Amino acid sequence: MSRSNPHLTPDHEAFALAVRTFVAREIAPHVEAWEEAETFPRELYAKAADVGLLSLGFPESLGGVPGDVWYRLVATMELARAGSGGLLAGLMSHTIALPPLCALGSDELQQRVVPQVLAGRAIAALAVTEPGGGSDVANLQTRAVRDGDEYVLHGSKVFITSGVRADFLTVAVRTGGPGAGGVSLMLVEGDRPGLHRTPMKKMGWWCSDTATIFLDGCRVPASNLIGSEGLGFLGLMHNFNGERLGLAATAWAFAQICLEDAVAYARERQTFGKPLIQRQVIRHKLVDMAMRVEAVRAMVFDVAWQVEQGLEPVAEVCLCKNFATEALEFVAGEAVQILGGAGYVRGARIERIFRETKVLSIGGGASEVLKDLAARQLGY
């Protein structure tokens, strides 16, 4: 991390080293090939599980291991060293798919799904966003109609991370009337008849599996309802707070990497007989980058501390995500400028991160939506 974190214990540091070793051995040597192939091996999930990445922070009764918010920040920082947001998002898609199930689902549903995913034997995805809905979750249109002991699902989802190969999908559906009160959550197994999936091509996150999902008369048992009808919006809103803090931490981690790579390049690159870093204009760029990285670090740590105290800092999480993603766009752009052509060609971490900056300011709630939410929370 860019500076010492007083919240980290020797156990946190040991975990960070284990994840760093895992990334250096299992991910970094292959990530560029995976990006070009637009996928990564399914076997990587089991390897990540062996390191303790997948089970972190989930209930021990379901195969999880204790892990506070600082463990999650450590995991994000170390995984980011590979320089692939798609790898991070795809490998860790269960962190947004499983929390509603763990919080609201029946014991039978939890035991059937969660241990498999945490062991790396199955993949889980969250399916909320719709083609006409975006961040407007309360007005989603995918409908689930009760028919005896089953629900029949009709609708579509889009931009679903791990959506093509997910074995289990936590799907937001409408079981009631309009608005947030009519939203519920449903577990849909990936092999259900009536579930169709197509992969999407993207500007960035190439190696992540991103799908459009069609539900055409897809039948699921009524027991697959997660919690009770009408609880879906509540479950998703709590989930979004964790996701947004995770996206802010991701933006900070990638900004730190861009700064490190830019400094290293500026020290090595010779221009007109001098190292590039001796040029005042470059040093000033690096200082401007460092200023933003450190400000984001402080904000992420402050919000993380609030979360660890059991608070629900909704406005602060929104502000943190927006500030972090804006900072990353600036830092990544300046890093590419410093590297010049070396930062523009494929294969460089900075090139990949630069292409991926916009998805962080859109995913988990677009910046404009989060500004409105923060304003309401703050009473403006």
Residues annotated catalytic, as ranges? 243
Residue 11 identity (one-letter amino acid): D
Q: How many CB atoms lie within 10 A of CB 302?
A: 13
Question: Do 108 and 223 meet the contact criterion of CB atoms below 8 Å apart?
Answer: yes
SS3 372: helix
Q: Residue 185 phi/psi, 5° resolution?
A: -120, 140
The whole-angstrom separation of Cα 367 and Cα 124 is: 26
**DSSP three-state, residue 42:** coil
Long-range contacts of 349-354 (CB under 8 A, 24+ apart): 349/83, 349/257, 349/258, 349/261, 350/83, 350/258, 350/261, 350/262, 352/35, 352/83, 352/84, 352/85, 352/204, 353/83, 353/85, 353/254, 353/257, 353/258, 353/328
At residue 303, the 3 state secondary structure works out as helix
Residue 38 backbone phi and psi in degrees, to 5: 60, 35
Instruction: Please count the residues of the chain.
Output: 380
Phi and psi at 154, nearest 5°, equal -135, 130
